[in-house]
Amino acid sequence: MSRKIINHSDLAPAQCFDAGRYLSAHLLADEFDHIFANCWLLAGVARDLSRTGDYLVFTIGTQQILITRLQDGSLRAFHNTCQHRGMQLVADERGNARHFRCAYHAWTYAGDGSLKAVPHRDQFSAGLDADARGLAPVHVDTWNGLLFVHMGAQPPSLRSFLGAAAEQLAAYDFAAMQVVEDQTCHLNCNWKAVVDNFGELYHVDFLHPQHRRFVDCCNDEVHLFANGHTGVQVPGATVNPRFPIPREPTDLLAAQLQSVGLNPADYTNRIADIRAAVQQRKRALAQESGRDLGAFTDAQLTDAWQYNLFPNTVLSFGMDYLWILRPRPHATDPGRCEFDKITLERRDTAVPRPERDTFPYDAVVRGEKTMTITIDQDVELLSAVQTGMQSRGFRTTWLSDEELRVQHFHAQWERCMATR
C-alpha cells in the first residue's frame, strides 16, 4: 500500500490550527474580503447561458453577481445592484432578458451594463453621468464549460489561477455535459468543514463502508497545487486491500463488469485483474461506437477523481459525469453554509434543465431527500462536527498525513488571511 504525493506548490502544510477558524464571525467577515472577494469562484455552468440574454445570479454571502451572455457571444458579469439607490437589480436566479430594469424607479440597463433609461431624467438638476452609473463590472471567465467570477480589481487570469490542476483535466469535456440535478442543502456547519470533509480519505473506511467494495483508498495519488488547489485519484474497479480480498467480485464490481459486457463469473479469484479488464473493454467499446478516448489515461477510465479548487469548489468526476460540490458560507453566521451539488452528465439527447431543489439538512437525515448515499453520510455528520468544535474542550486540530490535502487548503487559507 502506498500513497503517491506530487507537490506542485511552495506551501508548507498547516497541520495544527485553532478551532476558532470555524467559529468566529469576525474571521468570516475577513474571509469574504480576503478570500471570496479575492479569488476566482465557480459561479455556475456555462451551458445555462447558451443563448443571447440568458442570465444567472450567483450568491456568495452578502454578494450577488449577475452574469449574462451578449449577442456577440461574450459573457459579462456585474454586481447585481442598481446604481441609483442600490436596490438588488435581478430577483430571479436564472432567466433571459435583453435589458435589466430596476423594480424601484425603473432605471434600465443593457446586457453590457450600460445605463440606457432613467425616468424623469430632467429632475436630476445636478446632472447624471450615465457612463459613471453603469452596472459595476466583475471579472468573468470560463474553463471547460464552467463559469468563474472574480470580484477583485486586477485578478490573475483564470488559467494561471487554476494552473496545473486545469492542465491535468484537459481530457475531460465538462462543457459537453448537461445539468441533470441541481440541489442545495442548508447545513449547520462552517463552509470549511465541508471542504475539509472532501479533502481526505481518512474517514472513508469508517463513514462509507460501501466504498471498500469498489475503490482502493490505500493506493491513491495526491496532488498539491499552487493557490491551494488539490487533487486525488483513487483506483476504481477494485477493492480496498486493507480488508480481506473477496473470492468473487463484489456486487458493485459485478455491476461494473456487466455494464461493459463482461461476465463477473470470469473474475472469480481474479479481483486484481478487473480494473485493467474494464479499462481495455471501455476502449474497445468506444472504438466500436466511434468515440475517441485517446486523450484519457487508463486511470481516467476507471478511477474516482476529485479536484478541489480553492476556496470552495470540489469537482468529483469521471469520463461521463461531473459533480460540482460547493459550500457557500452564510453571510454572517460562521456555523452555517449552503451546500450545492450540481450533477452533470454526458447524454445523447437533450434533457430539460432541472430547477434547483433547496432543502434543510433534516430532510436528508429523515431520508426525504438524498444527495447520494455517500454524501448523505457526510452531510449527516457535519453538524456534529460544528457542535463539537464549539466545545471549550476542543482547542486545535491535529491532522495526519492522510489529511495532507486538508493541510494544504488551510495553508493557502492562512496565506490569504495573512494579507489582513
Candidates 36, 58, 100, 107: give the one binding ligand FES (CB under 6 A).
107
Give min distance, CB of 201 to Fe ion, in A: 8
Q: Verify binding: residue 99, ligand FES, rule CB under 6 A.
A: no
Of 2-10, 77-85, 154-162, 372-380, which part binds Fe ion (CB under 5 A)? 372-380
Sheet containing strand 115-117, edge to edge, reads 99-101, 108-110, 115-117
101 binds, among ligand FES, Fe ion, none (CB under 5 to 8 A by kind): none
CA–CA separation, 79 vs 72, rounded Å? 21
Q: Outline where 240-372 has alpha helix (H).
A: 251-259, 274-289, 298-302, 361-365
Q: Residue 189 gets which letter from DSSP?
A: S
Cell numbers linked to 23: 467559529
Rank residues 4 and 105 by Cβ distance to ligand FES and give the closer one. Answer: 105
Give me the count of residues in the chain.
420
Cβ pair 67, 36 in contact under 8 A: no
Give min distance, CB of 200 to Fe ion, in A: 9
283 binds, among Fe ion, ligand FES, none (CB under 5 to 8 A by kind): none
Q: Verify binding: residue 243, ligand FES, rule CB under 6 A.
A: no
102 binds, among Fe ion, ligand FES, none (CB under 5 to 8 A by kind): ligand FES
Phi/psi for 182 (5° steps) reads: -140, 110
Cell numbers linked to 317: 468526476
124 binds, among ligand FES, Fe ion, none (CB under 5 to 8 A by kind): none
- What DSSP string runs through 71-134? TTS-EEEEESB-TTT--BS--SSEEE-SEEE-TTT--EEETTS-EEE-TTGGG-TT---GGGGS
Q: Verify binding: residue 105, ligand FES, rule CB under 6 A.
A: yes
Q: Verify binding: residue 102, ligand FES, rule CB under 6 A.
A: yes
Q: What is the total count of residues that contact Fe ion (CB under 5 A)?
A: 1
Q: Verify binding: residue 189, ligand FES, rule CB under 6 A.
A: no
Residues in region 289-348 near ligand FES by CB under 6 A = none
Of 78-86, 162-170, 188-196, 374-382, which part binds ligand FES (CB under 6 A)? 78-86
Cis peptide bond prior to 244, omega within 30° of 0: no
Candidates 182, 216, 340, 378: give the one binding Fe ion (CB under 5 A).
378
Can you give the binding site for ligand FES, defined by CB under 6 A?
82, 84-85, 87, 102, 104-105, 107
